[in-house]
């Protein structure tokens, strides 16, 4: 594998693509590029880099240097405050049905929202999504994608599985079952194995063939909503990063 110092255009890339840090993930040798969310946009424009440009950069570097490349869009204080304000407003207006709300910014203009309700109905989801959209537009966030979670669901959702992997990784399927069984009595190895296989195909997680342990990829971590009590140190643990080079 190439060392980061072998990337001849490194300084130019950091400047042109607003890369704040680069690291090598110990589990699979992937080079991880960290891009602050405030510099990522849905379309290319001055002062920003688009998601498409980042995807093209990943493919170009992977082909040139023969190593996997992952892009991780990182949170910032500005967007932390936007997420906190949105959550507080939602809880104030929908306190009788809202259990939890978390947000993951894919760019400075697009956010994924994971919203857990104790009454998951079409009317409730419509009202909440419409209200949330009006809040976010005022902050310049024009694209919203909502993932709805039923508090009374008998099995964990895909995002529940990803969050568990973040907390426990590297982890085998037996330990994952033990983690979920208290809250989800219907969880079993056959069902969980199917979910993990789907995530591997979507390149959200990886599985070590020798140990059988699972871990998140950069793509998988990017889907997990930001948890306000966490910090960048937790993100580093979740990515299983090796020694920082820059």
Q: Tell me the CA distances in angstroms from 134 to 94, 127, 128, one per residue in order.
A: 15, 11, 10
* Dist. CA 3–CA 58, nearest whole Å: 16
* Dist. CA 13–CA 8, nearest whole Å: 10
* Dist. CA 189–CA 173, nearest whole Å: 7
Rounded to an integer, the average pLDDT of 171-175 is 92
Rounded to an integer, the average pLDDT of 148-168 is 85
Model pTM score: 0.65
What are the tens digits of pLDDT across the range 81-135?
999 999 999 999 999 999 989 888 889 999 988 898 989 899 999 999 999 999 9
Mean pLDDT of the chain: 83
Domains of the chain in sequence order: 4-74 (3.30.70), 77-150 (3.30.70.1350), 158-225 (1.10.10.10)
């Amino acid at each position: 594998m190439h060392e980061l110092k072998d990337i001849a255009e490194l300084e130019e890339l950091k400047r042109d693509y607003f890369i704040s840090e680069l690291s090598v993930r110990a589990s699979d040798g992937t080079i991880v590029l960290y891009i602050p969310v405030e510099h990522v946009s849905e379309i290319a424009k001055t002062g920003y880099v688009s998601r498409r440009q980042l995807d093209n950069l990943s493919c170009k570097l992977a082909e040139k240097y023969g190593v996997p490349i992952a892009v991780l869009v990182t949170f910032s204080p500005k967007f932390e405050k936007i997420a906190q304000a949105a959550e507080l407003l939602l809880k104030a207006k929908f306190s009788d049905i809202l259990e939890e709300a978390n947000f993951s910014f894919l760019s400075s203009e697009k956010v994924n929202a994971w919203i857990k309700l104790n009454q998951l109905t079409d009317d409730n989801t419509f009202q909440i999504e419409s209200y949330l959209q009006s809040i976010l537009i005022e902050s310049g966030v024009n694209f919203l994608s909502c993932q709805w979670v039923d508090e009374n669901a008998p099995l964990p959702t895909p995002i529940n599985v990803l969050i568990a992997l973040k907390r426990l990784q590297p982890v085998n399927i037996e330990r994952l079952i033990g983690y979920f069984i208290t809250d989800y009595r219907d969880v079993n190895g056959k069902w969980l194995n199917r979910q993990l296989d789907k995530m591997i195909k979507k390149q959200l997680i990886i599985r070590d063939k020798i140990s059988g342990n699972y871990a998140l990829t950069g793509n998988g971590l990017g889907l997990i909503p930001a948890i306000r009590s966490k910090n960048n140190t937790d993100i580093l643990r979740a990515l299983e990063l090796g020694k920082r080079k820059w």
